[in-house]
């Protein structure tokens, strides 16, 4: 296997994240195995979004199956291709709808995580706006032979800005959205930080009253719990008009919607999700992609899951032909994460061993035999490989590599075959429910 060449920052981030059981933010492409078909299907969605259509996909798998990993992989690929990306984990405080602005809280989280290729860590709203303004200034200077301080230069720039704003003014809430974008330009032109900050606050959904927004910006509406998705559509249209390929929204941990205890609130969230699904599938949105990560129960539970609603069941249930053939259909709205093969698991462990050895300047990574021995030992100790998920295998494997690196007197074979070695179970230490874990799925 070719030696992995990564920066210290990326390799350290990978090791630290995986040892803590969380998905790394950077470098996931270096440890991706066995998801080529699923990834290719999602990349095709990105190509479609770039052409002006919309896309909606569920990524479904059980705990530890690699949903978040795949979503992170697509997120990074989308940024590389020139998309604006925003992601958020749903929770009890962040939902799609609620009585305490839970939907707005999700919108605010998405806006804080707004990211581009040049700002992959989030907080990209300012760089998007100012990068666009700078680009227009360069175009005006090139086309008209003018300098920024020349009389009439700013007027030419404003004309270009108004051209973009006009494209979105006919959409729902587009007029006010356009006015706020124009207000940001005025603040930029006049070096008025208060006006720029007010425009940014409005776009981030931080105004709490319409009176406050009118005083600051002259607009009579604010982004709230009922309208936040409309502004997601506007943002998608806007970023496409100013040079990006589109907007990709990623919402993970949708199981938190399934776990809402109140039936009325849970159904309200499912209905909001259905509205977004219908909107994108009918191409009422442009240049917008929505990816939802959830568990099998979130989708299929007939009492609390999406399948409790016949409208959702019709839209997302697997075709009888796919069920009969046993072949996964990857072009539909649901991508189910199937188990990885043993060879893919071994390839993953070999990659991790290479990265770990390179990060700590060890002379040589573990051999293929050692990696096979590790998997074999875990299976034997647990008594059933159905209890294994890659997230737990990886966490244990990184721990073993760390122990050997920090304690040179300890041998790999002695460590994994010792009486005290107990592999981590997926979920609780006891009472593991096999329905909540996936067999070798990443």
Whether 350 and 332 share a structural domain = no
How much is the pLDDT for 416?
81
Per-residue pLDDT of 158-169, as tens digits, reads: 999 999 988 888
Q: What is the pLDDT of residues 198-255, one digit of tens each?
A: 999 999 999 999 999 999 999 999 999 999 999 999 999 999 999 999 999 999 999 9
Q: Which domain holds residue 317?
A: 35-116+244-336
Q: Is residue 24 part of a domain?
A: no
Quick check: 438 pLDDT over 70? no
How many separate domains does the chain show? 3
Give the whole-angstrom CA distance, residue 203 versus residue 213.
11
Q: In the listed set 301, 336, 371, which residue is the last one of a domain according to the structure?
A: 336
Q: What is the DSSP letter of 339?
A: B
Q: What is the pLDDT of residues 1-29, one digit of tens each?
A: 445 578 889 989 999 988 887 888 888 88
* Banded model confidence at residue 378, pLDDT cuts 50, 70, 90: confident
Confidence label for 381 from pLDDT (cuts 50, 70 and 90): low
Q: What is the pLDDT of residue 361?
A: 84
Domain end marker among 152, 182, 217: 217
Q: What pTM, to 2 d.p., does this model score? A: 0.87
The CA radius of gyration of the chain, in Å to the nearest whole number, is: 25
Q: Across all residues in the chain, what is the average pLDDT?
A: 87
User: Is residue 435 included in any domain, yes or no?
Assistant: no
- Same domain for 187 and 268, yes or no, is no
Q: Cβ distance 404 to 415 under 8 Å?
A: yes
Domain end: 336, 368, 386, which one?
336
The pLDDT of residue 430 is above 50: no
**Cβ neighbours around 213 below 10 Å, total:** 22
> Looking at the domain assignment, is residue 258 inside a domain?
yes
More confident residue, 421 or 413: 413
Same domain (yes/no): 109, 248: yes
Q: How many residues does the chain have?
A: 442
Instruction: Note whether residue 10 is domain-resident.
Output: no
Which domain CATH number covers 278? Answer: 3.40.50
> pLDDT tens for residues 257-273?
999 999 999 999 999 99
- Determine the Cα–Cα distance for residues 240 and 247; give it in Å rounded to an integer: 8
Least confident of 96-105, 144-153, 278-287, 293-302: 144-153
Q: What is the pLDDT of residues 52-88, one digit of tens each?
A: 999 999 999 887 778 888 999 999 999 999 999 999 9
pLDDT attached to residue 4: 56
19 within domain boundaries: no
Residues 107 and 131 reside in one and the same domain: no
Q: Band the pLDDT of 311: cuts 50, 70, 90.
A: very high
Q: Is the pLDDT of residue 427 over 50?
A: no
Contact by Cβ (8 Å): 81, 46: yes
The answer to whether residue 231 sits within a structural domain is: no
- Residue 256 counted as domain residue: yes
User: Do 92 and 174 fall into the same domain?
Assistant: no
Residues 253 and 108 in one domain: yes
Question: Look-up: residue for tokens 């666009």?
Answer: 132
Q: Are residues 39 and 103 in the same domain?
A: yes
CA distance 319 to 296: 16
CA–CA gap between residue 259 and residue 83 (Å, rounded): 32
Instruction: Work out the percent of the chain whose per-residue pLDDT is above 90.
Output: 55
What token pair was written down for 74?
């697509």
Is residue 363 in a domain? Answer: yes
* Domain match, 129 and 111 both: no
Please check whether residues 323 and 351 belong to one and the same domain.
Answer: no
Same domain, 92 and 138: no
Q: Are residues 102 and 69 in the same domain?
A: yes
Q: Could you tell me if residue 193 is left (phi over 0), alpha (psi between -120 and 50 degrees) or otherwise beta?
A: alpha
Structure confidence by residue, pLDDT tens digits, 175-195: 999 999 999 999 999 999 999
Instruction: Say whether both 43 and 188 belong to one domain.
Output: no
CA 268 to chain centre: 23
Q: 248-252, 311-315, 339-343: which range is least confident on average?
A: 339-343
The token pair at 106 is: 């999700």
């Amino acid at each position: 296997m070719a030696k992995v060449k990564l920066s210290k920052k990326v390799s350290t981030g990978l090791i630290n994240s995986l040892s803590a059981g969380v998905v790394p933010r950077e470098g996931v492409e270096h440890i991706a195995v066995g998801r080529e078909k699923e990834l290719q299907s999602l990349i095709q969605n990105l190509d479609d979004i770039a052409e002006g259509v919309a896309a909606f996909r569920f990524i479904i798998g059980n705990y530890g199956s690699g949903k978040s990993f795949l979503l992170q992989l697509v997120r990074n690929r989308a940024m590389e291709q020139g998309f604006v990306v925003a992601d958020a984990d749903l929770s009890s405080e962040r939902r799609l709808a609620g009585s305490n602005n839970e939907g707005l809280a999700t919108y605010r989280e998405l806006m804080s995580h707004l990211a581009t290729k040049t700002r992959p860590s989030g907080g990209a709203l300012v760089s998007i706006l100012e990068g666009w303004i700078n680009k227009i200034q360069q175009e005006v200077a090139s086309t008209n032979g003018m300098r920024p301080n020349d009389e009439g230069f700013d007027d030419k720039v404003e004309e270009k800005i108004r051209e973009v704003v006009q494209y979105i003014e006919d959409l729902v809430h587009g007029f006010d959205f356009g006015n706020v974008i124009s207000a940001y330009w005025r603040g930029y032109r006049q070096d008025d930080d208060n006006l720029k900050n007010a425009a940014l606050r409005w776009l981030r959904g931080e105004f709490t009253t319409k009176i406050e927004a009118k005083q600051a910006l002259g607009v009579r509406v604010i982004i709230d719990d009922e309208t936040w998705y409309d502004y997601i559509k506007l943002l998608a249209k806007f970023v496409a008009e100013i040079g990006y390929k589109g907007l990709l929204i990623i919402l993970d941990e949708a199981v938190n919607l399934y776990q809402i205890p109140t039936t009325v609130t849970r159904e309200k969230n499912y209905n909001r999700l259905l509205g977004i699904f219908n909107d994108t599938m009918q191409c009422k949105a442009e240049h917008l992609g929505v990816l939802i990560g959830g568990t099998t129960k979130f989708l299929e539970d007939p009492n609390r899951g999406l399948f409790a609603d016949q409208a959702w069941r019709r839209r997302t249930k697997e075709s009888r032909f796919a069920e009969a053939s046993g072949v996964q259909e990857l072009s539909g709205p649901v991508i189910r994460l199937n188990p990885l093969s043993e060879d893919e698991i071994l390839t993953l462990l070999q990659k991790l061993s290479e990265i770990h050895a390179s990060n700590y300047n060890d002379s040589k990574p573990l051999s293929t035999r050692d990696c096979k021995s590790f998997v074999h030992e875990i299976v034997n100790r647990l008594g059933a490989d159905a209890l294994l998920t890659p997230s737990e295998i990886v966490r244990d494997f990184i721990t073993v590599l760390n122990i050997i690196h920090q304690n040179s007197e300890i041998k790999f074979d002695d460590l994994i075959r010792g009486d005290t070695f107990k592999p981590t179970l997926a979920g609780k230490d006891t009472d593991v429910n096999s329905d909540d874990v996936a067999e070798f799925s990443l």
